[in-house]
Chains A and B, each alone.
Chain A
Amino acid sequence: MLEDPDEPVAGGGLLHRRALLVGGAAAMGGLITGVRAVAGGRSPTSMLTPGAPLSPFGEGAPSAGGLQRIVPDLPFPGTGSSRTPLEALKGTITPNGLHFERHHNGVPAIDPATHALLIHGLVRQPLLFRYEDLLRYRRDTRILFIECSGNSGMIGAAQPVQASAGQLNGLLSCSEWSGVRLSTLLDEAGIAPGVRWIQAEGADAAGMTRSIPLSIAQDGAMIALFQNGRPIEPAQGFPMRLLLPGIEGNASVKWLRRLKLMAAPAFSREETSKYTDLRADGKAEMFSLRMGVKSIILAPSFGLDLRGAGYHEISGLAWSGRGRVRKVEVSADGGMSWAEAALESPVLPKALTRFRMRWRWSGAPATLMSRATDETGAVQPRREAWLAKIAGRQGYHGNAIQSWGVDPFGKISHVYA
């Protein structure tokens, strides 16, 4: 009935690749300490006191370059967001220390030796997984973007906010994430009939919780342990975070400690009163989890003015929560005419894609725009269409086309066109 998981493929103990290591006696020995680790109080201390505040850079930041995250003044320094300086970066990968932050009560300090992930609820066998357990599982590695659904919300302002591309759109980062496929652990616990949702909970002082549809949890989701080859940053959820490809960032719960399999959503605060999209008609869309297709121009952009007429390269990033970017079109005349930009390889699903366009600027005023189309055929909407849907000029999932104005001196400003 069972295939031999330890099928040898050569001498000396080499096994078939499907049977990637297992811990025999060591794993059994860890059983007791793993349970003890969570058998103290109701919650670990990381959930009882606010964590560390947002910071300009994490441990992996290239300090020599002087690059920092954009950190605002906040009434509660651990509650809010810092942004990736997108216009200062090349390629598509965000250095770990420059990955944007969004915390709801600071960055907890978690000892991986005592942290455990509980999978329970409607399962055959509730299970605890320690960090060191998860390190021994077969590892999935994917390049994926994470975008906060509140990103680019400033484009709803009545007047264009004069700010850098990172300040406007920097709740966006992209990394090579490596970890354990979520479905592997769910299968190990055994998904009961009737399960439709999974509530994920973090071990931070916000006790962050989100309900995730089972269909999304089984669509390439992982428990991420590594970020660009290093253990994930404390600000990104060390020792482990949920990572849901193409889904709004908040649902990829950091400092993950509990997954509860349920028939219905929990309807927690974040998924009812916060990350819901209030429309102009007064109704709000709930569980608007998928990130739409989007692109932004980073060069030139606010703060990166042109130094005279002549040849320039227009460059930026495009992405979609549904899959690959199919094409990016660029306009230099405010949307009257468009031309297709070159896409830099590799063009990966649910990852950032770099686009480039050659441009000879005459020195006359110009309005630059970019418009992405994803592999499902979805096209970035115009700002007016997005504004017409959302309530009160504030909203999540702001993926409308953005515009930079170029004046005769080459100065770049944020404009609505």
Chain B
Amino acid sequence: MHKRLPAAGAILACGAALLAYVGLAPSTSEVRLGRPAPPEVIRRIDITVAGDGSGLPPGAGSVAEGKAIFQQKCSACHGPAGSGGVADRLTGGIGTLATPKPIKTVASYWPYAPSLFDYIRRAMPLTAPQSLKDDEVYALIAYLLSVDGIVAADARLDARRLAQIRMPNRAGFVSLEDKDFDGNLDHP
């Protein structure tokens, strides 16, 4: 049987440049069945938008457009203006986090605005995920953030403007990276 070792071939071909990569120790002699993923396939299925706004697509939407879409597609579950519905509360609650009754909403809790684009596009509305156009997602974010004055009532958001928004609770998070991602009280 002929053993297929594309990675080994790549190492020999590219030489020292690849030594910077880890995990290519050739002595493992493992099965290697991964198939090269063409760039166009990756572009199509990579829908990640990161907190810094990387991955945001072209497009734009306004508060007014977003309000109309929200009333049509979102308010049945999230309530008028994003509160009072059966689904998660989205608006209000700013300043409540350190009180006995914290209210966690997009406005009061979320640290990054671009994460809204990532989530709404991939997961909302619950009955038809990924059905919203990119312009509609920008518009919905503009409207939601306008309810609490995080953006102006006449705001229009695109990739650049969305990445520039500083959310009220941006500094409200503590990293546990230096504690090995272990926040439990039970440390010895």
Contacts and interface: CB of A to CB of B under 8 A. Distances in A.
Interface of A: 1-6, 18-24, 27-28, 30-31, 34-35, 38-39, 41-43, 47-50, 75-76, 79, 104-105, 118-120, 124-130, 133-134, 136-138, 183-193, 199, 201, 205-207, 209, 213, 215-216, 257-258, 260, 262, 264-269, 272-273, 276-278, 280-293, 321-322, 374, 376-381, 385-386, 389, 391-392, 397, 399
Interface in B112-157: 112, 115-116, 118-119, 122-123, 126-131
Contacts of A184: 28, 30
A39 B122 contact: no
A288 to B, nearest CB: 4
A18 B31 CA distance: 10
B58 interface: no
A152 B7 CA distance: 47
B59 to A, nearest CB: 15
Given A24-B3, A124-B10, A187-B28, 20 more contacts: A3-B29, A6-B1, A21-B31, A23-B31, A49-B128, A50-B126, A75-B86, A125-B7, A126-B42, A206-B122, A213-B177, A269-B119, A273-B106, A282-B97, A284-B173, A285-B176, A290-B182, A377-B188, A381-B184, A399-B186
Q: Which 8 A-B pairs give the minimum distances between C-beta atoms?
A: A282-B98, A267-B51, A127-B34, A377-B188, A292-B184, A5-B29, A187-B23, A288-B183
Contact of B98 (A262, A281, A381): A281
Contacts of A380: 186
Secondary structure call for the A interface: loop
A61 to B, nearest CB: 27
B110 to A, nearest CB: 5
A262 B104 CA distance: 28
Nearest to B86: A75
Nearest to B122: A207
A21 B1 CA distance: 10
Contacts of B185: 292, 381, 385-386, 389, 399
19 contacts: A24-B3, A34-B35, A39-B41, A43-B47, A76-B126, A125-B6, A128-B41, A138-B30, A185-B34, A188-B32, A189-B34, A190-B23, A207-B123, A285-B176, A290-B184, A292-B185, A374-B186, A378-B188, A397-B184
Given A267-B111, A290-B180, A385-B185, A128 B37 contact: yes
A409 B26 CA distance: 68
Contacts of A38: 41, 44-45
A268 B119 contact: yes
Contacts of A124: 10, 18, 21, 24
B102 interface: yes
Nearest to B97: A282
Contacts of B72: none
A27 B33 contact: yes
Nearest to B106: A273
Given A3-B29, A392-B101, A207 B129 contact: yes
Given A191-B21, A284-B172, A128 B188 contact: no
Contacts of A282: 97-99, 102, 172
B114 to A, nearest CB: 8
Contact of B45 (A5, A6, A42, A190): A42
Nearest to A267: B51
A152 to B, nearest CB: 13
A24 B23 contact: no
Contacts of A31: 35-36
B48 A128 contact: no
Contacts of B69: none
Contact of A381 (B37, B38, B186): B186
Given A38-B41, A136-B31, A273 B104 contact: yes
B31 A22 contact: yes
